[in-house]
Amino acid sequence: MQHRFPPPFRLPRWATHVTRQVGRSLRSDEDRMRFVIELASMNVINRTGGPFAAAVFETRTGRLVSIGVNVVVLTGCSLAHAEMVALANAQHTVRHFDLGAAGIPRHELVTSSEPCAMCFGAIPWSGIRRVLCGARSSDAEAIGFDEGPKPRQWITALKQRGITVVRDLCRREAVAVLQQYKQRGGIIYNAHRES
Amino acid sequence: MQHRFPPPFRLPRWATHVTRQVGRSLRSDEDRMRFVIELASMNVINRTGGPFAAAVFETRTGRLVSIGVNVVVLTGCSLAHAEMVALANAQHTVRHFDLGAAGIPRHELVTSSEPCAMCFGAIPWSGIRRVLCGARSSDAEAIGFDEGPKPRQWITALKQRGITVVRDLCRREAVAVLQQYKQRGGIIYNAHRES
C-alpha cells in the first residue's frame, strides 16, 4: 500500500546473517525469547549498542518477521530502541503500517526487557496484539538504565486495547545479558532528569 | 560520533523546498508555531499524511534545525508521527542522539498538536528541553484521533525531567487544520481498542 522506502533503522553488520533467518518458525514462547536474548547478547559482544533486543513473530505459526536491537549510539538516533527497530522492520516486511490490519496474521513483539515509556506508547499504534517480556524494567534500572515516564498501570492500559502482556519469560537469562553489558563497561545513556 | 546513515524517515516530496529553510531563524514562539501549523496544512493539502507537523528549533536563536510531518501511511511505518520524524531529523542534523548533550545549544520541539503516548515517551530520550504545543489532544480526539495510553500527568512527568511544556499556542489556527483534514475526508487511523 505504500512506496518501497528502505526500513528506517539500520541494523549492525553482524545482524545480516540473523536477518537471513526471517521466515523461520520458532514454536514456543521460550524458543522465541531465547532467540531474542541471544540477539541482545550479540549486541553486547559486538559493542553495537545497549543490551536490548526484540523481534516480531506471527503468533500462530511462530514465523520470524523481523528483528531489532538497540542501535541508538550506532545510528545517532534516540528512537532506535530494539522494540522500535523490530516494529519498523516488521511493518517494512509486511508492507503495512498496521501489523493488526484485517487479512494478515496476528503478530507479537518479543522483547528482552520490558518496554520503556516510548516503546510502550508505540505498541498500540503498531498493530501488535501480544507482548512477551524477558527482564523487568527494574532489572534494567538496576544496572542504571531509565524506563522513562511510563504509566504504572501499563499492562492494564495495553489490555484495555486488546494487547496481552506476558512477563518474566526466561527472566534470569535476560538479566544475565544486562549484567554482561555492565561488566563490559557499556555506555549507560539516559533521559535527562534536571533542567 | 556515529556513521552518516540517512535520516530514518522520508519526508514527502513537497517538503523539499521547506527543508531548504533549515538554518533560518524564527524569533518568537508564535512565529515558530505558525511555521509548524503551515506545514501541517501542507500535509493535508498534499494528501501526504495526517494533519500533524512538528519542528525542532534552537531555543535561544530560533534557528530551525529540522521539520517533521506525519508520514505513517506514506512510509508504511506507525512510528512516523510528526514529532518522531522531527526529532530523528534533528539528531541527524546535529549528528548526535542527544539534543541536550553538553556543548550544543538547547533545543525545543514545536508541535501542531500535543504529543501522543509514543511521542511523549520519546521526548525525554531525545534531549529536547522545551515543548510548544498548538492544538490539545482533545482537539485531535474531537475529529476521531486517539492519543493512546498517555499518563494523565504528562506535563508534570516532563517537568520532573527538566522539560518545560507550553500549551495552547495559536491553538485556534492549529485546530483549523485538524478540521480541514476532517472536511477533506482524510484517513483516521487509530490504535486498536479490542482483541
B25 interfaces chain A, CB cutoff of 8 Å: no
Is A3 a residue whose pLDDT tops 60?
no
Q: What pLDDT was estimated at residue B3?
A: 47
Could you tell me which of A129, A87, A124 has the C-alpha nearest to residue A108?
A129
Q: Do A158 and B148 touch (CB under 8 A)?
A: no
Could you tell me which of B69, B59, B67 has the C-alpha nearest to residue B100?
B59
Confidence of residue B186 (pLDDT cuts 50, 70, 90): confident
Is A9 a residue whose pLDDT tops 90?
yes
State the CATH number of the domain containing residue A144: 3.40.140.10
Question: Of the given ranges (A116-120, A185-189, B21-25), which has the lowest mean pLDDT?
Answer: A185-189
Residue A71 lies in a domain: yes
Q: Are strands A53-58 and A107-113 parallel, antiparallel or unpaired?
A: antiparallel
A2 interfaces chain B, CB cutoff of 8 Å: yes
Residue B96 lies in a domain: yes
3-state secondary structure of B158: helix
Is B80 a residue whose pLDDT tops 70?
yes
Q: What pLDDT was estimated at residue B195?
A: 37
Which tens digits make up the pLDDT trace of A148-162? 999 999 999 999 999
Which tens digits make up the pLDDT trace of A46-56? 999 999 999 99
Which tens digits make up the pLDDT trace of B94-128? 999 999 999 999 999 999 999 999 999 999 999 99
Nearest-Cα distance to chain A for B185, in Å, is 18
Residue A8 lies in a domain: no
Residue A37 lies in a domain: yes
Is B2 a residue whose pLDDT tops 50?
no
Is A194 a residue whose pLDDT tops 60?
no
Per-window interface: A 171-190 vs B, CB < 8 A: 189
- Segment B12-20 mean pLDDT: 93
Containing structural domain, residue A51:
28-182
A13 interfaces chain B, CB cutoff of 8 Å: no
The DSSP string of B35-82 is: HHHHHHHHHHHTTSS-S-EEEEEETTT-BEEEEEE--HHHHT-TT--H
Listed in sequence order, the residues at least 6 apart from A104 whose beta carbon sits closer than 8 Å to its beta carbon are A94, A96
Confidence of residue A191 (pLDDT cuts 50, 70, 90): low
Q: What pLDDT was estimated at residue A187?
A: 80
Q: What pLDDT was estimated at residue B190?
A: 66
Residue B15 lies in a domain: no
Percent of chain B scoring above 90 in pLDDT: 88
Pairwise pLDDT comparison (A16 vs B40), residue with the higher score: B40
What is the C-alpha separation between B170 and A185, in angstroms, rounded?
A: 47
Confidence of residue B192 (pLDDT cuts 50, 70, 90): low
Confidence of residue A6 (pLDDT cuts 50, 70, 90): confident
Q: What pLDDT was estimated at residue A130?
A: 98
Which tens digits make up the pLDDT trace of A74-111? 999 999 999 999 999 999 999 999 999 999 999 999 99
Could you tell me which of A166, A176, A96, A31 has the C-alpha nearest to residue B72?
A96
Q: Tell me which chain B residues have a C-beta less than 8 angstroms from the C-beta of A9.
A: 8
Q: Tell me which chain B residues have a C-beta less than 8 angstroms from the C-beta of A163.
A: 192, 195
- Segment A105-125 mean pLDDT: 98
- Segment B26-40 mean pLDDT: 98
Is B77 a residue whose pLDDT tops 90?
yes
Residue B167 lies in a domain: yes
Residue B53 lies in a domain: yes
Per-window interface: A 60-79 vs B, CB < 8 A: 72-79
Could you tell me which of B76, B80, B104, B81 has the C-alpha nearest to residue B91?
B104
Q: Which of B76, B125, B129 sits opposite A92 (nearest CB)?
A: B76
| Arithmetic mean of pLDDT over chain B | 93
Is B21 a residue whose pLDDT tops 80?
yes
* Phi, psi values for residue B16, rounded to 5°: -55, -45
Q: Which of B76, B118, B124 sits opposite A97 (nearest CB)?
A: B76
Residue B172 lies in a domain: yes
Query: Number of helices (H) and strands (E), helices first, in chain A?
Result: 8, 5
pTM: 0.95
- Segment B165-172 mean pLDDT: 98
Q: Which of B79, B161, B189 sits opposite A98 (nearest CB)?
A: B189
Percent of chain A scoring above 70 in pLDDT: 95
Q: What pLDDT was estimated at residue A42?
A: 97
The domain tally of chain B equals: 1
B96 interfaces chain A, CB cutoff of 8 Å: yes
